Amino acid sequence: MPNKLLRMLPVLLLCLLCGNAYAKTQIHFWTTEVAPDRQAIIEYLVRAFEIHHPDIEISVQGVEENQIATELTKYLANGTGPDVISCSSDLLVAFNQKGWIDYYATQKVLYHAGKENFFSGPLSKFKIAEDKYCGLPFNGWVQGIWYRKDWFDQKGLAPPNNWENILKAAKVFHDPQNGRYGILIGTRNDAYAEQVFSHLALAAGVTPFNKNGEVQFESPQTIATLEFYKKLAAYTPPGPQWWRGRDFYMQGRLAMMFYSTFIMDDLAIPAIAADSLGSRNFAELKGAEYDSALLKNTGMVSSISKTTKAAYGVIHALGLLKTVDETKQRAAIKFASFLFQDDVYITWLHMVPGGMLPMLKHITSNPEFYRDAQGVIQKYSRQRIKEIVSGFEYIKNFSIIDGVLIPQAAQASEQGIIPEMIKEVLQLNTPPAAAVHNAAQKMRKIPPQ
């Protein structure tokens, strides 16, 4: 036996050498999904990919969203950056402007996933030219008006899908003497107020900057939006209100509220709804039992109209970065295409049911999408889900104009210029035109980047 082993040794050594000659292709995947439970699911999907592609090895790295630009700059300079990334759409557009994106690889993945399968609104954000994209929309959430459909039906009111209908319903249902309010909007100096204002402003055609980065916020459309916002504030629960005001809705005291699709699990799951059913957040609320009929009685409009139809939300995207190694490029294309396979894609979306909605239109027709472990999506009919995600066709924001990222828009948001403007009007009684002028002046002080 020993002699036989000795005779086999050269063969074993040769096999080892050959194995080294055919080493696996290594690619790096960075994602801003850093929560441990999400990382565990991503690792599971990566391992599944490697089983089907034994010649490819993938390393996963979670990077905080506010750090990914700095980290990419550092690692790419050393030639050790990622091959595939998932992050916000604005970040990916910014990375394209730095020349980091592989258009060919992106186009190949788009071909595999099927261009016709994507919602056109999110996909258009990444279009550089015909058949040339700097990224692929991967998942996202939309903001909308969630409203008591049963109340609207009783009064014969149309859904709150435009300025006129919103204001009319707010007036009809506002009854503070009996503890009922018309609508919830942000009346505090914070991000929620900015999100609500932005949604209404986009519907009025407001764009704070043009594609050259020049300020055009001081316009009749912006002033009209702020005046309208002030009117709606009169039908909102008292005190500076923020997203926490959803408690009024969950306890049957509110006709309408602006909220993202992150509310979907609160409406569907009693244990999650419990967070909004207590009395600790508002002295006026005494607490309530979970209303099992509230989900059925709730309608949602994701697109609002004034002069144009607009939805507001956040898109997370998938990007493929340049490499001189064609083997790595092919491996990255295979992995990114794998993430768009229906079963894989749905598993990813189920990390945050409602908070991660599909960019592929046909997913809402797949029965597996309605079988998340938490039981959230299955509480919604296909028709309702399709109505919610339809907002993606009209999604807009202030940061990207005609495919050009406007860094000043992000700076304006970081500086809280719009919430401060709202505060001036609602709390300091500044005339809307003057408050808009003040905000525009602050925007003009933001240096171009």
pLDDT in tens, 108-132: 999 999 999 999 999 999 999 888 9
Predicted local distance difference test score (pLDDT) of residue 13: 44
pLDDT in tens, 265-298: 999 999 999 999 999 999 999 999 999 999 999 9
* CATH code assigned at 124: 3.40.190.10
In the predicted model, what is the mean pLDDT of residues 92-109? 95
Three-state secondary structure of 121-188: HHHHCCEEECCEECCEEEEEEEEEEEEEHHHHHHHCCCCCCEHHHHHHHHHHHCEHHHCEECCECCCC
Here the tokens at position 428 are 């300091």
Per-residue pLDDT band for 312 (boundaries 50, 70, 90) equals very high
Same-domain status, 287 and 436:
yes
Backbone φ, ψ for residue 404 (5° rounding)? -110, 125
| Domain of 206, in residue numbers | 142-311+394-444
End position of a domain, from candidates 333, 348, 382: 382
Domain count, the chain: 2
* pLDDT above 90: residue 361: yes
Predicted local distance difference test score (pLDDT) of residue 130: 86
pLDDT in tens, 164-216: 999 999 999 999 999 999 999 999 999 999 999 999 999 999 999 999 999 99
Predicted local distance difference test score (pLDDT) of residue 22: 60
Same-domain status, 70 and 151:
no
Residue 15 lies in a domain: no
Same-domain status, 68 and 100:
yes
Beta-carbon count within 10 A of 280 CB: 8
